Structure formats: C-alpha cells, structure tokens
Structure 1
Amino acid sequence: MLDKLYPKDQIKNYLLIDFVLIVFLFYRVLRLDGALGLWSSLMLLLLFLVSFYFALWRRDGGLLAAVLSGLFVLAVLAVYIGPVILWFGFIFADLLGRSRSKGHIAIGSAGIALSFMFVFIIRKEPLLQISNAVYLPVMIIQTVYPIVIYIKEKTKSLQGELDAANEQIAKFIQQEERQRIARDLHDILGQTLMMIKLKSELATKWVDKDTAQAKRELGDILATSRTAIKQVRELVSEMKFISLPGELEHSVELLRTAGIALYIEYHGKTPLLSSVEETMLSLCVREATTNIIKHSGAKQCTITLEVKEQSYVIHITDDGKGVAQQEGGNGIPSMVERMQILGGSFAICPSPAGGTVLSLKLPIHQHEKEDDS
C-alpha cells in the first residue's frame, strides 16, 4: 500500500526525512501565518503537497514544472514568514536531481537561485548582510545539489548496467567453461579410455593363449587407468601444457595398439610455439588419431609436420574409408574451434590415394617460449 503512495526505491532513504521536513514546514507556516492568513497558508501548503507528490513520481518535464511550482510556494511563504522557509528548498533540489534531462536540471537550479534572490529583494534584506550571511552558502548548496544527485543517480544506473553486463558475462563464461570441460573430457579422456578398451580386448584374446602377454596387457591397462585419473585431476584444476612431441609418441603407441602403423615425417625445423599453441595442436592431433581409430578403418597413417609460407602445417593422412565416415561426433567441430582460437585454420578432404587428409595450419608468431614448469 505504501509503495503506491511513495516510490519504493526511495522509501528506505527518504520517506522518514521527507515526512519530518513536511511536518516542520506545516508547523512553521501555521504557527507564523502572519499577514497571509490561515486559508491562504493552507492553500499554499496544499499546492506545496501537490507539487511535492507530483515531483516524487516524475522524471520528465513534469518534474521540472512541479519543482518550479514548489519553489514558488516556498518563495511566497518566505516573503511573508521569513527566509528560514527557504531551507525547505532542499526537498525539491533533491527531487530535481533525479530528472533525466540535464537541461531541466539547469533550469531548476536557476529557479532555486532566483527564488532566493526574489525573497531577499521583496523583503528588502541584503543577502550579504551579517544576519543573512548563512543563506548565501545555503543558496549555493541548493543550486549545486541537483547536479550532485544527478551524477550520483547516473553512477548508480551505470553501476546497475555494469553489474547486469558482468552477470551476463559471468553466465557466458560459465557456459563456455562447461563447453571447454566437455570438449576436454572428450579430447583428453576419450583417447585414454580408447586405449583401455583396446588393451582390454587384447588381454581377453591373450588370456587363454599366452598368460604372460595377457598380464602385460593388464599391466598396461592399470598404468593407463592411473593416467586417466591424473588427467581428470588436471582437468578439474586447469588444462595443463601438452607437449607436441610427447603427444606424437603417444599417438604412435595408441595406433600401434589398434593395429595401425603410424609414420611421422618432419620437413624443416620445428618453429618456436607458445605453450597454448603447442597444447592446442597436441589436442587436435589427439582428436584426429582417436577419430582414425574409431571411424576410418585405416591400416596406415602418416603425420607430416612442415613450415610453409610463414605457417606451421600438420597433415594427418590415413588410408581408411574417407571423409564421409568421419564427419560425425564432436571431434571435427572441436578441432575447428581450437584452430580458430589460435588464428589458424582446419581442413579435411579426401586423399588422392584413398582415405582422408586432415590439415592444421597455424601462423608462425615471433615470441619467446613460455615457462612450462
């Protein structure tokens, strides 16, 4: 009920203050109505209340009109009762500062200064005489006060917009982080789990034929499981640096286990890569080799690394079923996204000899190697 009579955004800070000031104003005017008379005083006080209430709910030109009306009432009362009534102008100075228009604030501030001058001119009391000396700083403060309130409200509004923007950014980052974790789970753990699966199948085959070989395969499964646990821990904390040479060695072992021969060819000196670049390329190689095992049906794979036209290019070629068999799943979009983040490119096309060629192209940047410790 109360928020329908008084703006709820101001109830906490201003309701009590405004109520006390209005009660004091009524008391002062009705006790010292003097030449105005009771009915004239009541009419002016009613106009004051209407102006105050109207200004309370408006932020447009209506606010300016209400403020000027209220200042006029205070000026008339001050002429007949005394300049002390001008102190109540702070009520309208405060409301004026909530206007959306700088022009309205300028006009209203000028109105405050004119109301002071009007009172002292009509009363023929010099504003600078000792008995009235306090009113000059009061006039200055009231004139500047709307500007201070305007800046405060503007800052509050901008802070609200900033908080809303930060909230949206936080939600976006949270969503991106979820996608990153899902992608990394797919890229990092997917290959490790594939290794466990292949080793388990081999152990099943060897368990009746060669117990010693089966035990070796089970030992590899145990070691790979420990690696998976370590990867999960790293993923929970932060994505760690992944060495490209180390990943290539791992790919050789993985593909060998799957019955696919992998050949690695280096054409030229490997350029200096940042930790992020090397990690992203390693994850792309990991994803590519995982896809070859899952989808290609290949027997042989070649990874070629070369520097070409100020770019570091990695070609991954297999002799499998071809592109059409490798377009599903999360792997390819993940590689595309990673290369886009690095400012590079990703391409996949049929191999002239049959199978698929996957290309990762990264622009070479001149920078120092980051500390990977």
Structure 2
Amino acid sequence: MKKLDLDAGHLSSLIYLLFPFLALFLNRNQGNTLLLIVVFIIFSIVYTTLIIGHRALKPWTSYFLLVLHYLGIIYFVYAINPTSSLFLFYSVFALPLTFRVKLWSKEYFTFLATMLLCLIVTFLYYSEPFYIVMLIIYYFVMNLIMFSNFKRVTEEAYQSKINAQNEHINVLIADQERHRIGQDLHDTLGHVFASLSLKSELAIKLVDRDLEQAKAEMIGVNQISKEALTQIREIIHNLKTRSFVEEVTALETLLKNANLAFHFDNASLSQSLSPTKQALLTMILREAINNVIKHAEATKVSASLSRRDKEIVLTIHDNGKGLTDTSVHLESIEARVALLRGTLEVENHAGLHMTISIPHGGGFLS
C-alpha cells in the first residue's frame, strides 16, 4: 500500500474518465462502439495505474503506459470529440513533477507528437475550424505550464544542490573547529596533567621526610592549576572570537575542501584595526563568501586588503554570474559597512566585484 499514491488531489484526476464514459451512453461518438468500449476500458486501467501506481513503476513501464495513454487520447479525439485531448493536462504536471523526466526527453517528445496527431485527426474528421483554433490555444497554454513546471523542478534541484553544499561546508567548519579545540585542549591539558601528576606524586613521597619541600610542591600544583584555568579560559574565548587573519586562513582551507579556489592578499594589514573592526570585517568577508557559494556559481574568489589615505580597503571579486538583485543579497553587508562608517561599491559585471572602504582610525568603533 505504501507504493500506491492515494493523495486526494491526484485521485480527483480520475473524475475526467466520466466524460468518455458518458459519451458511450449518449451515443455521441463515431466509429465502432464496441472498439470504443474496449479502448475506454484499457485507457481507464492505464490512466488509473499511472495516477495511483506510478511509485511502483519502472521507467520503461511508465513510458509504455504513457504511450498507451496517448494512443487512447488520440482515439477519443477521433471517436468522441477533440476536447478529449484535454486528458493531456495530466502529463503537463505528471512528466516534470511525478515522473521527474527532463525537458526534451523521449516522454516530452511523445507528448508533443500526441498533440500533433490530435490536431491532424481533428483536421481530418471535424469540419469546424473552431476545434483547430481551440486545440492550438489549449496546447499553447499546456506547454507554457509544462515549461514552468520543468523550470520549477530545475530550480528545486539547484537549490537542493546548494543546500547540500552549504551543509557540507557547515560540516567542514564544525570539523575544523572540533579539531582546533581538540588540539588546544590536548596541548594545554596534556602538559598540565602531566605536571600535576609528577608534582603530586613527589609531594606524597616528601610529606613524611621533608614537609617544607612537600609544601613547596603543593604550592607548585596550585600554581599550575591556576595557569591551566587561565589557559582554558583563553581557549573558550578563542571559540567565540577569531581574528581576521585566522578567519582568512580558515576560509582558505574550507573553500579548498569545497572545490572553490580562494586567494587573499595582505590579510595581515587587518591587524592595524581594532578587534571590534576586525570582527565586523570578518562578518563582511564571511557574508560575501556565503553569497558566492549560494548565488554566484563561481569557481574562483580573490580578495585583498590595501591602505588608501586614511582608509583600509577590502576588495572581493569572483568569476561567477553576478547577482540579479544586489539590494537584497548585500543588505546585511551594507548594514555592517554602515556600522563601520564606511562605503560599499559594487560592480556586477564579469562576476561580482565589491570594494569596501572603512576609516582606519577614529570613531566609536576604534
């Protein structure tokens, strides 16, 4: 039962079988009635299978049933009415959204061929030009909707790819931080506990022979404990803040693992800025790189720091497709630049080129 699609929206499509069914009893058909009954039964089985059982179907089985479905529609156009080709609306949504076939696939070309054959049958067996005009309009609208659905699927796939890439980058960031924390703790606590162990053992041995020396060793244990506490506090503090140079180094490793070339010149120039300005500049760089990953489809990013008069200038350039709406994607960067009392210049040509200029000294963030 799990493989059956019993969604109410999909099941509602079966109501359209009522129209060819009524045509059998109202004698609004041409050709052999018995043949029409047989075609209707086969069509109903195929149509129901495609709607309810598509999850259990293999690709070639689905295509075979689609062909039978289209042949039934063509026959209904001949035997009942050209409007029977409105059954093709099922494919408008099923091909891109249910069967996940590509545009210009064999399924789509078969869909187009069915439309053409329906027009030919209508032209040969129905004298009213109204039907031809009506079908052309219907088919045009169907293709517009189908193209929209294919575009939607493509965008969803692209967004899914971006989300997966971002998730991978987040994992890399977490792993990198975990490794750094582990190394810091190993270097700090390993030495501390080794020293504490040696001094405490020595104090135990001396307590009965040389009380003053044992006391001195315990004072040493106390001093090492205080130093260890200070070092651990520094490690915790470093988890919260990272200098601009450290952020650039981390980004180089991170983006290399994400197959995105990254080069930064003169990162050390940031050391002349206050910690607060470095933190904001770090956020700007991180946000810019995040935009590149999410929107630019770039393979290379270059950035640099330079000094100009009384300003520090950060330039960031990628080789991607640029941004369609910079006012939206750069909003948070603009807010941080404003906080630094700086300026932001954007060139959206041959990739995105950003120039951020901030005052070197003075102001409330100094």
Residue of structure 2 equivalent to 1:367: 268
* 1:72 aligned partner: 71
Shift of the 235–21 alpha-carbon distance from structure 1 to 2, 3 Å rule, reads farther
What amino acid sits opposite 2:138 in the alignment? Answer: V
Residue by residue, what CA displacement relative to the aligned partner does 1:268-287 show, whole Å, maximum 9, x if unpaired?
A: xxxxx945799x9xxxxxxx
CA contact (8 A) 1:25 1:88 kept: no
2:109 maps to which of 107, 110, 122: 107
Q: Look up the match of 1:123.
A: 126
Uncovered stretches (5+) of structure 1, i.e. residues with no partner: 244-272, 281-339, 342-363
2:364 equivalent in structure 1: none
Deviation per residue, 1:179-218 (Å, 9 max, x gap): 443322211221232343344356557655463x655553
Distance 2:195 2:266 in 1: 35
Does residue 1:228 correspond to 2:129, yes or no?
no
Deviations 1:227-248 (A, max 9, x none): 43454455457547899xxxxx
1:277–1:92 distance in 2 versus 1, CA, 3 Å = closer
* Residues in 2 aligned to 1:143 and 1:241: alpha-carbon distance in whole angstroms: 54
2:140 maps to which residue? 140
* Structure 1 position 85, deviation (Å): 1.9
Distance 2:166 2:139 in 1: 41
Change (3 A) 1:51 1:155: farther
Question: Given that residues 36 and 79 in structure 2 are in contact (C-alpha distance below 8 angstroms), is that contact kept between their aligned partners in structure 1?
Answer: no
Cα pair 2:200 2:218 within 8 Å, conserved: yes
Number of residues of Structure 1 aligned to a counterpart in Structure 2 = 252
Aligned to 1:196: 196
1:162 & 1:50 partners in 2: Cα distance?
Answer: 41
Letter of the structure 1 residue corresponding to residue 126 of structure 2: R
Output the amino acid matched with 1:183. Q
Distance 1:219 1:186 in 2: 24
Question: What is the one-letter code of the residue matched to 2:104?
Answer: K
Amino acid corresponding to residue 77 of structure 2 in structure 1: A
Q: Greater Rg, structure 1 or structure 2? A: 1
- Whether the 8 Å contact between 1:77 and 1:85 is mirrored in structure 2 is yes
How far, CA to CA, are the matches of 1:366 and 1:174 in structure 2? 23
The CA distance in 2 between the partners of 1:118 and 1:242, in whole Å, is 71
Mapped partners of 1:48, 1:154: distance in 2: 31
**Alpha carbons of 1:194 and 1:2: their partners in 2 closer, same or farther (altered >3 Å)?**
closer
RMSD: 4.5
Secondary structure at the aligned position of 2:127 is classed as coil
Judged with a 3 Å threshold, the aligned counterparts in structure 2 of structure 1 residues 367 and 235 are, in CA distance, closer, same or farther, namely closer
Residue 145 of structure 1: how far off its partner (Å): 3.9
How far off is 1:161 after superposition? 5.5
- 2: CA distance between counterparts of 1:215 and 1:164? 59
Tell me, what secondary structure is at the counterpart of 1:87?
helix
Structure 1 residues 76, 274: closer, same or farther in 2, change over 3 A?
closer
Is there any run of 5+ residues in structure 2 with no aligned partner, and where?
Answer: 255-264, 277-366
Deviation at 1:123, TM superposition (A): 1.1
In the other structure, the counterpart of 1:48 is 43
What is the TM-score when the length of structure 2 is the normalising length? 0.51
SS at match of 2:268: coil
Please, what TM-score do these two structures have when normalized by structure 1? 0.51
Q: Which amino acid aligns with 1:20?
A: I
Change (3 A) 1:242 1:173: closer
Q: Structure 2 vs 1, CA of residues 80 and 166 (structure 1 numbering), >3 Å: closer, same or farther?
A: same
For 1:43, give the aligned amino acid: V
Cα separation, 2, equivalents of 1:277 and 1:94 = 47
Q: Tell me what 1:30 maps to.
A: 24
